Amino acid sequence: MAPARLPAFSSDQITSTWLSAILAETVNIYEIQPLSTGYIADVFRVHLKTTLAAPDGQSVIVKIASQVPSKRRVAKQFNSYQREHKFYKSIASGLALNTPQCYYNHFQLEPLSLCLVLEDVSYGLPVSGNQPFPQAEDHAVLKHLAALHKSHWNQGKGLPAFIDNLDQIGASYNTVFRRQHVLSTNLLSNFSFQVIEHYIHLGPPVQPPHPSTLIHVDFKPDNFSLKNDLTVFDWGDYCFGPPAFDLAYFMMHRPAGSDLTLERDLNLQKTYHNALLKLGILDYTMEKLQEDFREILPLLAYTPLALMDMDPADASKNRQLSSSLWQLGQMIDRHY
Question: What is the Cα 225 distance to its own chain's centre?
Answer: 13
Q: Which of 55, 73, 56, 58 is nearest to 25 (CA)?
A: 58
Residue 46, helix vs strand vs coil: strand
Q: Which of 147, 171, 169, 157 is nearest to 281 (CA)?
A: 147
The arithmetic mean of pLDDT across residues 238-267, rounded, is 89
Say which residues have a Cβ less than 8 Å from residue 57's Cβ, sequence separation at least 6: 48, 50
- Whether residue 136 is predicted with pLDDT greater than 80 in this model: the reply is no
Give, in degrees to the nearest 5, the angle at Cα 296 between 295 and 298.
90
Distance CA 8, CA 114 (A): 9
Question: How far from 156 is each of 87, 190, 241, CA to CA, in Å?
Answer: 14, 38, 9
The arithmetic mean of pLDDT across residues 297-311, rounded, is 90
What homologous superfamily does CATH list for 11-119? Phosphorylase Kinase; domain 1 (3.30.200.20)
Bridge partners of 35, per DSSP, are 43
The arithmetic mean of pLDDT across residues 285-300, rounded, is 96
Q: How confident is the model at residue 135 (pLDDT cuts 50, 70, 90)?
A: low
Pairing of strands 59-65, 41-50: antiparallel
Distance CA 260, CA 252 (A): 10
Identity of residue 91: I
Distance CA 266, CA 218 (A): 21
Q: Which range among 252-256, 300-304, 321-325 shows the weakest confidence by mean pLDDT? A: 252-256
Say which residues have a Cβ less than 8 Å from residue 287's Cβ, sequence separation at least 6: none
Q: What is the 3-state secondary structure (H, E, C) of 163-206?
A: HHHHHHHCCHHHHHHHHCHHHHHHHCCHHHHHHHHHHHHHCCCC
Per-domain boundaries in the chain: 11-119, 135-335
Q: Which fold has domain 135-335?
A: Aminoglycoside 3'-phosphotransferase; Chain: A, domain 2 (3.90.1200)
What is the reported pLDDT for 124? 57
Q: How confident is the model at residue 179 (pLDDT cuts 50, 70, 90)?
A: confident
Q: By the 8 A CB rule, do 140 and 229 touch?
A: yes
Instruction: Express as a percent the part of the chain with pLDDT over 70.
Output: 90
**Which segment, 21-30, 76-85, 251-260, 317-326, is predicted with the most confidence on average?**
76-85
Distance CA 118, CA 129 (A): 25
What is the reported pLDDT for 147? 96
Say which residues have a Cβ less than 8 Å from residue 101's Cβ, sequence separation at least 6: 118, 119
- Whether residue 69 is predicted with pLDDT greater than 70 in this model: the reply is yes
Residue 238, helix vs strand vs coil: coil
Distance CA 209, CA 299 (A): 14
Question: How far from 216 is each of 20, 26, 83, 165, 190, CA to CA, in Å?
Answer: 31, 34, 11, 13, 30
What is the reported pLDDT for 103? 95
**Which segment, 25-34, 57-66, 176-185, 293-302, is predicted with the most confidence on average?**
293-302
Distance CA 329, CA 336 (A): 11
The tens digit of pLDDT for each residue in 79-123 reads 999 999 999 999 999 998 999 999 999 999 999 999 999 999 886
Question: What is the Cα 305 distance to its own chain's centre?
Answer: 15
What is the reported pLDDT for 256? 65
Distance CA 55, CA 235 (A): 26
Give, in degrees to the nearest 5, the angle at Cα 73 between 84 and 231.
25
- Do 135-335 and 11-119 fall under one CATH topology? no
Q: How confident is the model at residue 320 (pLDDT cuts 50, 70, 90)?
A: confident
Distance CA 125, CA 15 (A): 27
